[in-house]
Structure 1
């Protein structure tokens, strides 16, 4: 049969539901991977589509055996493709080396041998001849778990009903990306960013030193579009990423004046980051940023500016950074 094309339902950023409503929600671990909708046609094949609708099947050859696991029963499954590090945690940095290879099957196969992926399946949208979109989450979850989808490269993660505060605390304790809260009575809304699903990302804040900036474009022409930030480790200022969000227009204009006063021709970072068009500044400005996790190279993922820290000296912004000389 021809399966319907179903764009994935999206979660809205937010906070935990009120304690009085806790029992009306299920809680799933938020994974740091690539969203995927898997189409099992019932003939042994599997088609993987990214959130954009792009066919990414060839990028993940190790997921091919998922196709025949339900026999002749067609299904559409919602999930997330992960690359796991040595501690079994999802690493987006590892996954990046596997993404974008749908048009290079040979390269995808070689990388699959070195860094295999794992897909966690958390929803079933179509089963047999029936659409399950109008069923409440709790019923879809029952149907999904009854399928027993646990294999070498795929699994069905556990969902917890109630106990949201404890679930969120557990994700923080184990260094996981966050939590997704799903209302038990919610239907599946294809392509919609719904309040029936709430995502909570665990964020960390740290102090960083501004060492450069990148020009803005469009409405930000003439202003800094992003600042390059670093932290001291091993006696040198190591670049840990670029920050482009978190300022109002007035704050960005004020920042532009501060950066202009500190302009220099010498890059303060060691090693020099690959940042075409960067303008360097003396490393005097300290700011506080919020981010989700660090990559293995020490880079900040999804950083956002919080505030300037004029009360701190640049040397106080130290962090545990990699000891090697790998450019970051």
Structure 2
């Protein structure tokens, strides 16, 4: 049967619901991996698509047996691919060695033997011949759990109803990325960043788009000393600061190669920042940065680089910035 193409519903950054509303929400651990939509064809086939819509099935060969676990029942599922460290916690840097291999099945198979992944499933959008999009979260969740999707490389972690403060505290105590709060009566909104789902990160970090760089000096000659980053707001790329720390030497060398292929003479920021000696690039590289707070003008204070985000398209890193020019 032909299954629908369903882009994943997205969570809005925020805080815990009020205590008076706590019982109306479910709480799930925020995973540090690659978001995927999983299509089980009911004929033994499985197709994985990233948030960008790119098919990435071949990058994760150990997930192919999932295609047969529901027999002839077709389904579209929402989940996250993780690479786990020795403590069983998601490690995005480990996962990066698996990402980007969708067109290199031989390398993907070799990496799978060295760094196996685990798929966590947390929603079902289509089951059999029926769309579950209009059903409330609590009903979709019950349908998902009834499927019994637990295997060597996939699982359906439990969601906690109520007790949000305790759930958030537990993620902090165990060094996890954060919490996702989902309203029990919420329908599934494909491709929408909805306030019915709220994500809480235990570290202050955000996705940014690289729009330029500054040449390094001394031992960094020939390499980027800092990258100039922005976030989309009201249809424009707004400059939010320069990031000059957080890379290892190999990572900085890799970044230099990526920047060289994206060079342009046109500043992608609006308005252009007054940064002397800047080199501009096409705004297609997405990264994640950690920072302490923001200035009144919206610039990031004390930013440091965390990682590239090859799983995200530049248009997905929009921020809730005011449409006011600094």
C-alpha change, 1:66 and 1:214, in structure 2 (3 Å) is: closer
Q: Partner of 1:267 in structure 2?
A: none
CA offsets 1:177-206 (integer angstroms, 9 cap, x no match): 00000000000000100000000011169x
C-alpha change, 1:20 and 1:52, in structure 2 (3 Å) is: same
Moved beyond 2 Å, runs of 4+: 211-221, 304-308
Report how far residue 85 of structure 1 moved. Answer: 0.5
Contact residue 9 and residue 193 of structure 1 kept, 8 A: yes
How far, CA to CA, are the matches of 1:74 and 1:153 in structure 2?
Answer: 19
Give me the TM-score of the superposition, normalised by structure 2. 0.69
Q: Partner of 2:189 in structure 1?
A: 189
Structure 2: gaps spanning 5 or more residues:
206-216, 218-224, 256-269, 280-286, 296-301, 303-326
Contact residue 214 and residue 224 of structure 1 kept, 8 A: no
Q: Secondary structure at the match of 1:185?
A: coil
Residue 229 (str. 1) matches residue 245 (str. 2): yes
The count of residues paired between Structure 1 and Structure 2 equals 247
CA offsets 1:8-39 (integer angstroms, 9 cap, x no match): 00000000000000000000000000000110
C-alpha change, 1:68 and 1:213, in structure 2 (3 Å) is: closer
Q: Secondary structure at the match of 1:150?
A: coil
Structure possessing the higher radius of gyration over alpha carbons: 1
Q: Report the aligned-residue RMSD.
A: 3.2
Report how far residue 80 of structure 1 moved. Answer: 0.3
Report how far residue 306 of structure 1 moved. Answer: 2.8
Q: Partner of 1:72 in structure 2?
A: 72
Give me the TM-score of the superposition, normalised by structure 1. 0.68
How far, CA to CA, are the matches of 1:127 and 1:229 in structure 2?
Answer: 47
Report how far residue 44 of structure 1 moved. Answer: 0.6
Alignment of 1:30-69 (within 5 A): 30-69=30-69
C-alpha change, 1:57 and 1:213, in structure 2 (3 Å) is: closer
How far, CA to CA, are the matches of 1:217 and 1:126 in structure 2?
Answer: 36
CA offsets 1:153-178 (integer angstroms, 9 cap, x no match): 00001100000000000000000000
Residue 103 (str. 1) matches residue 90 (str. 2): no
Q: Secondary structure at the match of 1:100?
A: coil
Structure 1: gaps spanning 5 or more residues:
206-210, 232-238, 243-248, 264-275, 278-299, 309-316, 318-328
